[in-house]
């Protein structure tokens, strides 16, 4: 919603989704889902890493990841379905007296997000993220744009169009959270803050933080080593030894008491047998975190040599686990959207007070000026602020 600019844009997105329903795309998809067969795709690299470690729960978790990935694939509509949904979206817009050309705005937003992601990757020396036509089942945004422009022109001049509802829309999205929410934890640069759970950690230089529903991972650039953080369920035990025994089910190993930023911890090094009966090494730490919650920090990598190479950084990540300090708490506030009059100093001026990374480009992106151009001075534009 932050990237939309009016009620009519939002209506275009909703119209596209309704189009999938009315054209019965899901029913067609159910058949292809049976044919695709779940689990044929490898899990995310991280899932594969966990799986190779053969950790109890991790195998299941990797299975879940793999299913999600596979389901994500079959759940995505085919390219013809997407193009048809765009067309239906445009038709519905015209039927409720919005200009169907708003569908073009919506596709432009998608195209610009793709460009922004590619530009970012280039600046950071990373390979460009997968394009919109991933797995060749998806139409490219360029193709969608071409098709929708043709379609929208068919409706041209049909309309006594109603107001696109820009002012109302900008009013409604005021104070809306932009990006990570406090409830789920915020990634800010190399830091992660979780207000409700009361902990923070910092990724080593060049590493990333991946915040999923059931676990947090600090992952290296090659995506073959990670520290995985999970909240230990209460039923897993009360003492660290009990937790390690119940959660990891090791066949052998030793523990060592430790203190991480004032928090009591127990380090474990050992081994277990995986489902195939192979012995695998395990390295994990249980920490008594804030609010009487225990955390399992699992050091894992693709194989033993990778783990050895990443050890210093993995230990650095582990050593950064901490209860939120006052400073962390103030950094842990989400960003919010606001609408302000466009100043004479332009996006450059607005960027100066914005807390986000690459603020000028991001502000251009959310306001529909990524490709260039300027709003009129005094016209309302969206900005992102700290709370
Ligand atoms: Zn769609």
Q: What is the pTM of this model?
A: 0.71
pLDDT in tens, 13-28: 999 999 999 998 877 7
Q: Is 143 left (phi over 0), alpha (psi -120 to 50) or beta?
A: alpha
How far away, in angstroms, is 47 Cα from ligand 1 center? 27
Average pLDDT over every residue of 34-59: 39
How far away, in angstroms, is 87 Cα from ligand 1 center? 11
pLDDT in tens, 140-193: 777 888 888 888 777 766 667 889 999 999 999 999 999 888 888 999 989 999
Give the pLDDT score at 241. Answer: 94
Residue 198 has pLDDT above 90, yes or no: yes
Q: How confident is the model at residue 129 (pLDDT cuts 50, 70, 90)?
A: low
pLDDT in tens, 310-323: 999 999 999 999 99
Give the pLDDT score at 56. Answer: 36
Please give all residues whose CB falls under 5 A of ion ligand 1, grouped by chain where several chains appear: 82, 85
Fold classified for 182-329: Protein Transport Mog1p; Chain A (3.40.1000)
Closest to 297 measured CA to CA, from 314, 307, 285: 285
How far away, in angstroms, is 149 Cα from ligand 1 center? 17
Q: How confident is the model at residue 287 (pLDDT cuts 50, 70, 90)?
A: very high
How far away, in angstroms, is 101 Cα from ligand 1 center? 17
Average pLDDT over every residue of 251-269: 96
How far away, in angstroms, is 81 Cα from ligand 1 center? 7
How far away, in angstroms, is 294 Cα from ligand 1 center? 41
How far away, in angstroms, is 36 Cα from ligand 1 center? 19
Give the pLDDT score at 59. Answer: 37
Mean pLDDT of the chain: 83
Q: How confident is the model at residue 74 (pLDDT cuts 50, 70, 90)?
A: very low
How far away, in angstroms, is 86 Cα from ligand 1 center? 8
How far away, in angstroms, is 147 Cα from ligand 1 center? 14
How far away, in angstroms, is 148 Cα from ligand 1 center? 13
Of 38 and 28, the one with more pLDDT: 28
Structure-derived torsion over alpha carbons of residues 313, 319, 322, 328, reported in degrees to the nearest 10: -50
How far away, in angstroms, is 186 Cα from ligand 1 center? 28
Give the pLDDT score at 57. Answer: 41
How far away, in angstroms, is 278 Cα from ligand 1 center? 44
How far away, in angstroms, is 16 Cα from ligand 1 center? 6
Give the pLDDT score at 205. Answer: 96
């Amino acid at each position: 919603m932050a990237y939309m600019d009016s009620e009519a844009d939002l209506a275009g997105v909703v119209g596209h989704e309704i189009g999938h329903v009315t054209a019965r795309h899901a029913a067609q998809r159910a058949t292809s889902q049976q044919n695709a067969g779940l689990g044929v795709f490898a899990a995310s690299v991280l899932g594969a890493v966990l799986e190779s470690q053969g950790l109890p729960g991790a195998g299941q978790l990797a299975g879940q990841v793999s299913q999600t990935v596979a389901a994500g694939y079959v759940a995505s509509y085919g390219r013809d379905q997407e193009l048809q949904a765009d067309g239906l979206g445009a038709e519905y817009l015209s039927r409720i007296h919005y200009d169907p050309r708003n569908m073009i705005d919506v596709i432009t937003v998608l195209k610009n997000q793709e460009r922004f992601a590619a530009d970012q990757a280039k600046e950071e020396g990373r390979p460009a993220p997968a394009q919109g036509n991933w797995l060749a089942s998806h139409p490219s945004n360029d193709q969608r744009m071409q098709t929708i422009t043709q379609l929208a022109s068919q409706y041209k001049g049909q309309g006594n169009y109603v107001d696109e509802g820009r002012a109302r829309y900008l009013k409604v999205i005021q104070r809306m959270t932009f990006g990570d929410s406090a409830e789920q934890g915020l990634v800010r640069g190399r830091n992660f803050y979780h207000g409700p759970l009361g902990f923070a950690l910092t990724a080593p230089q060049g590493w990333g933080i991946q915040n999923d529903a059931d676990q947090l991972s600090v992952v290296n650039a090659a995506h073959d080593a990670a520290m995985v953080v999970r909240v230990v369920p209460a039923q897993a035990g009360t003492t660290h030894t009990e937790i390690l025994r119940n959660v990891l089910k090791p066949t052998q190993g030793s523990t060592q008491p430790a203190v991480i930023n004032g928090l009591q911890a127990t380090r474990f090094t050992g081994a277990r047998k995986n489902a195939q009966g192979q012995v695998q090494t395990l390295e994990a730490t249980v920490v008594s975190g804030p609010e009487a919650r225990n955390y399992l920090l699992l050091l894992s990598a693709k194989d033993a040599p990778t783990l050895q190479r990443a050890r210093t950084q993995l230990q650095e990540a582990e050593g950064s686990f901490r209860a939120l300090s006052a400073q962390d708490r103030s950094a842990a506030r989400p960003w919010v959207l606001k609408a302000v009059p466009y100043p004479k100093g332009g996006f450059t001026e607005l960027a100066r007070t914005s807390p986000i990374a690459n603020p000028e480009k991001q502000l251009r992106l959310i306001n529909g000026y990524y490709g260039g151009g300027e709003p009129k001075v005094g016209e309302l534009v969206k900005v992102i602020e700290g709370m």
